[in-house]
Amino acid sequence: MKKYTILTSVLALAACGGGHHGGGDVVTPSDITRVGTVTQAAAESNAALTPMVSEIGVLDGDADAPSVNIGRAAVGSFIHQGQKYNSYKLDNVELNMGDWGTAHFHVDENGKVDALVFHDNEKIESNVARQGNSDKFIVRFRADDLTDDKRDVKFSYDSYARDLGLKYADFGTFNGQSPWSGDAVAFPFMAGYEIKEIKNPTGKMAFAGLAKGSVAQHVDDHDQNQVTITDTNATLVFENGMETLTANFDKWYKMTITKDADHVRLDFDDTGKTISAAHKLAETMVTDPEKLDMTTKYYGNAADTKEATALINYYQFNAPDTNDNVNVTFGFGGVEKK
């Protein structure tokens, strides 16, 4: 007879799923064993990379050599000692990397994240290898008109989700150096378990959290002179289809983005700000969807504190051969204000 124990260590990526998820069949732990296994070492390695702790594990077998059985996506709910759990796996998570396109985690035969796989970025090799159990990845940039050969650059996957209290979503920045200028660069990303996404939100939800990203001059198809912009008290409000994100950046403008199904608008306010000439904007308000994009995702269910992520990109284009083109990209992550 097999003995099952619920794995509750955060470092082993185990946490309660917050109750039965709508539509999933209730199954027993023995049914979960049909899916692939994730070793404890792999689970701990994954937890060092991303704090998305909503993976549910069931220890199967000898306590001295445990394995964690985790479903590929939501395999339904199972009941153990009167409690209901859901099962997820990290390689089912899509990452929105903004200008870098989309990616997903690649896991090895033990369930450990060993790479990021990019889907639609022509400037880099699609498979970006992870260095051991660290948060570092080696990005290989393809040769182009500025480089004679491919260049390998180390980037770090810096997640802010644990500090923000996110369980089902992730938000952070991918940090490294430009292979063209050598300048430090940071690209925001957001991710989350699709099975926990609120697909058609209604009513009102208000979130508080972190907005972080960068503003840079855009010259010859590359960003340069990039600076980091941060607001630790940013907010996102959803109300009956209207979204309002407010970020008062420490070194830059206060930005307010409003969006509904048909319109998007960005307002800038430089009151009390000292902004460098290289990063000043010519406009004070933008409504052109060709210049401005905001993508939002919401996660949770009735039993959870809701979570939200967002990515915003604004591009000010003046002329192809000037330093007046400005690229702004930042993300948001936060939890619902109660």
User: What's the DSSP call for residue 36?
Assistant: P
Judge contact between 66 and 30, C-beta under 8 A.
no
- Name residue, tokens 């010259």: 219
CA geometry: angle 93, 99, 101, nearest 5 deg: 35
Q: How far apart are CA 136 and CA 244, in angstroms?
A: 34
Looking at residue 9, what is its pLDDT?
Answer: 26
Burial of 244 per CB tally in 10 Å (0-12, 13-18, 19+): middle
Q: What is the pLDDT of residues 250-264, one digit of tens each?
A: 879 999 999 998 899
Residue 304 has pLDDT above 90, yes or no: no
Residue 237 has pLDDT above 90, yes or no: yes
Q: Give pTM, 2 decimals.
A: 0.78
Looking at residue 144, what is its pLDDT?
Answer: 65
| pLDDT, mean of residues 96-110 | 88
Contacts of 251 by beta carbon, 8 Å cutoff, 6+ apart:
227, 228, 229, 230, 275
Q: What is the pLDDT of residues 108-164, one digit of tens each?
A: 887 789 999 999 888 888 899 999 999 999 998 876 655 567 788 999 999 999 899
Q: What is the pLDDT of residues 205-230, one digit of tens each?
A: 999 999 999 998 766 556 667 889 99
